Structure 1
Amino acid sequence: MSKALNVFKQPLALHSTSPMTGFLRNGYCETPAGDYGNHAVAAEVTDEFLDFTAKQGNDLRGIGGMKAGCKWCLCTTRWLEAFEARGREPAGDKIVPKVFMNATNESALSKLKLEDLKAFAADQ
């Protein structure tokens, strides 16, 4: 069990163990001091997002078993890039991964607005 908190200041929920996610690869979107990417956003990736992030230079499909529908702890800046690009990308909102709020680390709020995350929430 993680000692970190989610965006609602509640205990951080386990996000995924298949594939094993998180900066620490423990299933939680924890953000220890060495996590400069802030892998705080508990998300479910889509093909459209995987295509988008690959075009940005981070092809997640290289991670064993990564495909649409997988749950992954995303960097806050990458989620924000997808959120901001949705209006100019042909896939629109489909490039923005759905967010599991109970498993999203509170540190995501250092770069993201709670209302933006809620707009793409999978677990509200």
Structure 2
Amino acid sequence: MSERNVLGDELQPCGTDPVTGYYRTGCCETGDDDPGNHSVCAVVTTEFLAQQQAGGNDLTNPRPEFGFPGLTPGDRWCVCADRWLQAREAGSAPPVVLAATHERAAEVVPLAVLREHAVDVPADPSSLL
């Protein structure tokens, strides 16, 4: 059975540059061995990165031992559902790609809330040029 997104469809890739996901597959797959529920595909912003750093979760500095390159604004990254919700409560929630957000995100963040922050990224981004 394939992984599902919060819309009930097949989970789409979140990002490959840098390669994201708890399992570093490019998808926001999550499982019982993922204590952080890295299920929300976010397009990280300066405000989100600053808010996370202030809260002790530095996402800007590389951590090679975890295969983590460090993030810059605009990167698509699978973030922990509870961290995303904390950022929303602080007024710095980054946009969410619903098609690439795992259905388990809705266990923490209501789908209606995720939809408020949704961005639509086409399968072929060159169409935006």
Same fold (TM over 0.5): yes
Equivalences for residues 12-91 of structure 1 within 5 A = 12-63=11-62, 64-86=69-91
Q: Aligned residue for 1:112? A: 109
**Secondary structure in 2 matching 1:79:** helix
Query: Aligned-pair distance for 1:65?
Result: 4.8
Q: Aligned residue for 2:126? A: none
**Secondary structure in 2 matching 1:10:** coil
Instruction: Work out the CA distance in 2 between the residues paired with 1:5 and 1:116.
Output: 18
- The one-letter code of the counterpart of 2:87 is A
**Secondary structure in 2 matching 1:43:** strand
Q: Which runs of 5+ in 1 are unaligned?
A: 87-94
Instruction: Work out the CA distance in 1 between the residues paired with 2:28 and 2:53.
Output: 21
2:5–2:102 contact (8 Å) kept in structure 1: yes
| % identical aligned pairs | 42
2:59–2:70 contact (8 Å) kept in structure 1: no
TM normalised by structure 1 equals 0.89
Q: CA RMSD in A?
A: 1.4
**Secondary structure in 1 matching 2:60:** helix
TM normalised by structure 2 equals 0.85
Identify the match of residue 96 of structure 1 among 88, 93, 96. Answer: 93
In the alignment of these two chains, the number of paired residues is: 115
**Kindly tell me: are residues 100 and 68 of structure 1, through their superposed partners in 2, closer, same or farther at Cα, counting changes over 3 Å?**
same
Q: Which runs of 5+ in 2 are unaligned?
A: 63-68, 122-129
